[in-house]
Amino acid sequence: MRKFWRVFEFLEDIVSGGLLSVGVTMIFYGVIMRYVFNDARSWVDEISQYMIIWGTLIGTSVALRNDHHIKVDMLFNVLSKRVQYYVTLFAHTVGITFSLFLGYYGYKLVSFTHNSGQVSTDVGIPLYMVYSILPLTGALLTFRFVIKLYEASRNTGGAGKVAERM
């Protein structure tokens, strides 16, 4: 089972970083084509935007896994360990709620664009494929927040450990 998680995390890192890298490379290609060869490619802008957005949204799950999200801990650090524990549980519960909403309404958007047959402007990619990142991100974040909530709730006696990880 441990090997499965390593592979899953590796794929998550590779996909997120790969999409961001390819998106930035495509932007560089577009700039070279526009300003050096005077041959602008409109599809480059559209595809690179999709790749950067997808890489960033998948990257939110990676950031949550590695505790790299931006947080304001000035107030958190002055709270007692017990209050920090409850704040942590509350924060993860709010995160799960947000992620479920993102997944649900993302799915509704994907369903709507699929049924209406909408396509992107320049390339003609079906928009349901583009928007499918939203329910995927919702699922990944829900999964990560549930793990964080489980880990935090297991540390009822060691609320200090939870606070150290936050």
Q: How many residues does the chain have?
A: 166
Contacts of 90 (CB under 8 A, 6+ apart): none
What's the 3-state SS for 24-35? Answer: HHHHHHHHHHHH
CA atoms within 13 A on the CB side of 130: 20
Read off the pTM: 0.83
Looking at residue 149, what is its pLDDT?
93
Please check whether residue 160 is in contact with residue 132, taking contact to mean a CB–CB distance below 8 angstroms. Answer: no
**Burial (Cβ within 10 Å: 0-12, 13-18, ≥19) of residue 131:** buried
Question: Residue 47 is encoded by which pair of tokens?
Answer: 């595809």
CA–CA separation, 166 and 145 (whole Å): 13
pLDDT-wise least confident of 19-28, 53-62, 135-144, 149-158 = 149-158
- Do 128 and 113 touch, CB atoms closer than 8 A? yes
A 10 A CB-CB count for 114 gives 15
Q: What pLDDT is attached to residue 160?
A: 47
Predicted pLDDT of residue 166: 44
Handedness of CA 11, 62, 158, 152 (dihedral sign): negative
Tokens at 31, concatenated = 């700039």
Taking only the tens place, the pLDDT of each residue in 22-80 is 999 999 999 999 888 988 888 899 999 999 999 999 999 999 998 887 777 788 888 88
Amino acid at 112: F
For residue 121, which amino acid is it? T
